[in-house]
Amino acid sequence: MAAHDATVTASDTDSGPLAVICGGGALPYAVADAVAAGGRRVVLFAVRGWADPAQVARFPHRWIALGQLGRFTRLAREEGCRELVCIGSLARPAIAQLRFDLTTLRLLPRLVRAFRGGDDHLLSAVGTILEGQGFRLMGAQEVAPQILVPAGAIGRIRPGDRDRADIARGLAILAAIGPFDVGQAVVVADQHCVAVEGIEGTDAMLARIADLRSGGRIRAAAGIGVLVKAPKPGQDRRFDLPSIGPQTVDGVVRAGLAGIAVAAGSSIAAESERLIALADRAGVFVAGVAGDGTFD
Amino acid sequence: MAAHDATVTASDTDSGPLAVICGGGALPYAVADAVAAGGRRVVLFAVRGWADPAQVARFPHRWIALGQLGRFTRLAREEGCRELVCIGSLARPAIAQLRFDLTTLRLLPRLVRAFRGGDDHLLSAVGTILEGQGFRLMGAQEVAPQILVPAGAIGRIRPGDRDRADIARGLAILAAIGPFDVGQAVVVADQHCVAVEGIEGTDAMLARIADLRSGGRIRAAAGIGVLVKAPKPGQDRRFDLPSIGPQTVDGVVRAGLAGIAVAAGSSIAAESERLIALADRAGVFVAGVAGDGTFD
């Protein structure tokens, strides 16, 4: 044990503090807490307009704006960071939120080309650029594997046969749209796909289902239907893994669904204790599933 | 000419008046007008809660409720109808809108099984049942081919190269989701799929794009992006062909898109003159495209 601990410490010292580029939502702090709990120093690089100032203040941090690659690399070097993770929502910023510095302006043609290819291409391009600057870009799941949803039900409720059939269909639809860089989530109710996530995001999609249900537009009875989330096939897993949090459970409950299924081992649960407590209380399941829909 | 007219008249007399089962929207009256203009009597079977009473009143008509298969077949026989078309939105009625009569109750187990298979299966099952009762179910395009969108731009504006690339991507996505009975429409802007139609329908999807755009969530500049609609591969073309109308043009304009592309020869334009006038005035294109995205 002592030898093992020593190894970990040496490795942490080698790689310095972890830079966490923080977008919106609760995930960045779940990752930062997990890493800090493991004994490694974290420095948050909080993206103005996206990161939550109250949460950011809990950690050593520097503020950056989207588009300030030069400023980020300078500050990260000052902090002694060589490894970084980029986590939280940065989906489709308004042009007005961008603050290009000189480094970014020089790289802009390359970024614009990547932009047109969709999320995956853009994020991978940014990753490649940062690696060219001497940083090592890691997935949140590498630095904080405990935030990944494991296989099986993570709460008290388990999906039934109908739910499993809906999950299998949802995964099949996500696999079919995967090559097109559409969303990572669908809602399937009694084998009928009622929504496909576009750029509106999961919470807005669930709110739509709730509206459609209150308008009598969903055939399946309340308590039927599953939110299914999975990464795109071939997606760069250092970015934008499908994630859920307590607000996802709230959305699923309001939408009258039976539960949530996410790809086991490649989806993230933020605030998982609160998430599980909420799900158990509401009687909805939350489960990690294999890509072929098998469950445990 | 005289011989040809005589043949048409004889054929019309043989098949009697055309029964038009009218759901929501403007399409049923476009079809009824086109058929009546061709000299054939039409009788509308207006679905209560969906059909527009002011429009229905322009034609000989009988009111029915969803679920009254027995009442429908009795009234249609009284009117001497042997051929029928079923047109207009009947999407996901609330249970409260259903009025089952005895005939329907007897058929219910079969309908419920079909219901679970998705729209296509349900509609095909209803079609098969009506044919078992001695009716011939036809597609709107068979009785009023002039309402189909032909290949090529139908207004003044033509899609440019970027639009054509977006159209090709939209058709590819629709082909990929086709087997899953999801929607018939997507929005692609600069190669990025920003929305997939679920059960909310095209108008609600376009309203979502308009909202996302006003919130700065759409990357592509205003004037970029195409609404693409096409039937599912293998879809029963007697039902639920993709359709557009003046309100679709309004939605596309509000969503800041460049235009509309629909599958040529298997999509319907309601009120096409008004639709074209609106599109020309707004500077958006409306085009029929082949399944491979070729345009004319």
Q: Decide: B289 and B167 in contact? Cβ < 8 Å.
A: yes
Which residue on chain B is closest to A168 by alpha carbon?
Answer: B180
For chain A, give the number of residues: 296
* Contact status of B20 with chain A (Cβ, < 8 Å): no
Give B66's contacts in chain A (Cβ within 8 Å).
none
User: What pLDDT is stored for residue A218 in this prediction?
Assistant: 78
- Which of A195, A196, A218 is facing B92, going by the closest CB pair? A218
111-130 in A: which are within 8 Å (CB) of B? 115-118
Question: Where does the pLDDT of residue B44 fall: very low under 50, low under 70, confident under 90, or very high at 90 and above?
Answer: very high
Helix boundaries (H) for B79-180: 102-116, 119-132, 140-143, 161-177
Q: Tell me phi and psi for residue A12, to 5 degrees.
A: -65, -40
B222 DSSP 8-state letter: T
Give B118's contacts in chain A (Cβ within 8 Å).
191-192
Give B172's contacts in chain A (Cβ within 8 Å).
180
Q: Tokens at residue B176, please?
A: 């990929």
Give A183's contacts in chain B (Cβ within 8 Å).
196
Distance from CA of B219 to the nearest CA of A (A): 6
User: How many Cβ atoms are within 10 Å of A95's Cβ, its own excluded?
Assistant: 9
Give B193's contacts in chain A (Cβ within 8 Å).
180-182, 198
B187 DSSP 8-state letter: E
Residues 6 or more apart from B273 whose CB is under 8 A from it?
none
Integer Cα distance of A120 and A236 in angstroms? 7
Q: Decide: B103 and B64 in contact? Cβ < 8 Å.
A: no
- Name the strands in the sheet holding B285-289, side by side, starting at the edge strand that comes first in the sequence: B152-153, B285-289, B259-263, B226-229, B185-189, B192-196
Q: Which residues of A207-231 are buried (b: 16+ CB within 10 A; e: fewer)?
A: ebbbebbeeebbbbeeebbbbbbbb
Distance from CA of B2 to the nearest CA of A (A): 51
Which residue on chain B is closest to A189 by alpha carbon?
Answer: B116
Give A24's contacts in chain B (Cβ within 8 Å).
none
A61: nearest Cα among A15, A21, A103, A13: A21
Integer Cα distance of B177 and B98 in angstroms? 30
CA angle, residues A33, B217, A185, in degrees to nearest 5: 60
Instruction: Give the HSE-up count for residue A7: Cα atoms under 13 Å, Cβ half-sphere.
Output: 4
Question: Where does the pLDDT of residue B3 fall: very low under 50, low under 70, confident under 90, or very high at 90 and above?
Answer: very low
pLDDT digits (tens, 9 = 90+) for B246-295: 999 999 999 999 999 999 988 999 888 999 999 999 999 999 998 765 65
- Which of A117, A172, A187 is facing B180, going by the closest CB pair? A172
Task: Check pLDDT > 80 for residue B9.
Answer: no
Residues 6 or more apart from B19 whose CB is under 8 A from it?
B42, B43, B45, B76, B79, B81, B83, B84, B85, B135
Chain pair A-B, CB pairs under 8 angstroms: 107
- Which of B94, B183, B194 is facing A216, going by the closest CB pair? B94
Q: Tokens at residue B46, please?
A: 């207006």
Which residue on chain A is closest to B217 by alpha carbon?
Answer: A92
153-212 in A: which are within 8 Å (CB) of B? 169, 172-173, 176-177, 179-183, 187, 190-200, 208, 212
Integer Cα distance of A226 and B295 in angstroms? 39
Alpha carbon of residue B88 to chain centroid: 6
Integer Cα distance of B242 and B219 in angstroms? 27
Q: Which residues pair with B88 in a beta bridge?
A: none
Q: Which residues pair with B98 in a beta bridge?
A: B66
User: Of all helices (H) and strands (E), which one includes residue B272?
Assistant: helix B272-282
User: What pLDDT is stored for residue A93 in this prediction?
Assistant: 54
Q: Tell me phi and psi for residue A139, to 5 degrees.
A: -80, 150
In sign, the C-alpha dihedral spanning A125, A128, A129, A130 is positive
Task: Check pLDDT > 50 for residue B167.
Answer: yes
Helix boundaries (H) for chain A: 2-15, 27-37, 53-56, 69-78, 102-116, 119-132, 140-143, 161-177, 202-214, 246-254, 272-282
Task: State the angle between helix axes of A246-254 and A272-282 in degrees (0 to 180), rounded to the nearest 10.
Answer: 20
- Which of A91, A118, A193 is facing B180, going by the closest CB pair? A193
Integer Cα distance of B258 and A217 in angstroms? 30
User: What pLDDT is stored for residue A4 in this prediction?
Assistant: 43
Q: Decide: B150 and B265 in contact? Cβ < 8 Å.
A: yes
Give B217's contacts in chain A (Cβ within 8 Å).
91-92, 94, 199-200
Give A195's contacts in chain B (Cβ within 8 Å).
198-200
Distance from CA of A184 to the nearest CA of B (A): 12
Give B114's contacts in chain A (Cβ within 8 Å).
none
**What is the three-state SS of A252-267?**
HHHCCCCEEEEECCCC
Distance from CA of A192 to the nearest CA of B (A): 6
Which residue on chain A is closest to B187 by alpha carbon?
Answer: A198
Task: State the angle between helix axes of B119-132 and B102-116 in degrees (0 to 180), rounded to the nearest 10.
Answer: 150
- Tokens 């405990």 label which residue? A146
Per-residue pLDDT of chain A (296 residues; tens, 9 = 90+): 344 444 344 344 567 999 998 888 888 898 999 999 999 999 999 988 888 999 999 999 999 887 788 888 999 999 999 999 988 766 655 555 666 677 776 766 666 665 555 555 566 677 778 888 889 988 888 899 888 999 999 999 999 999 999 999 999 999 999 888 788 899 999 988 999 998 888 999 999 999 988 887 777 888 999 999 998 877 777 777 888 999 999 999 999 999 999 999 889 998 889 999 999 999 999 999 986 656 55
Q: Decide: B242 and B229 in contact? Cβ < 8 Å.
A: yes
Distance from CA of B217 to the nearest CA of A (A): 5
Integer Cα distance of B102 and B45 in angstroms? 19
* Contact status of A216 with chain B (Cβ, < 8 Å): yes
A244: nearest Cα among A232, A261, A258: A261
Task: Check pLDDT > 80 for residue B38.
Answer: yes
Integer Cα distance of B240 and A77 in angstroms? 60
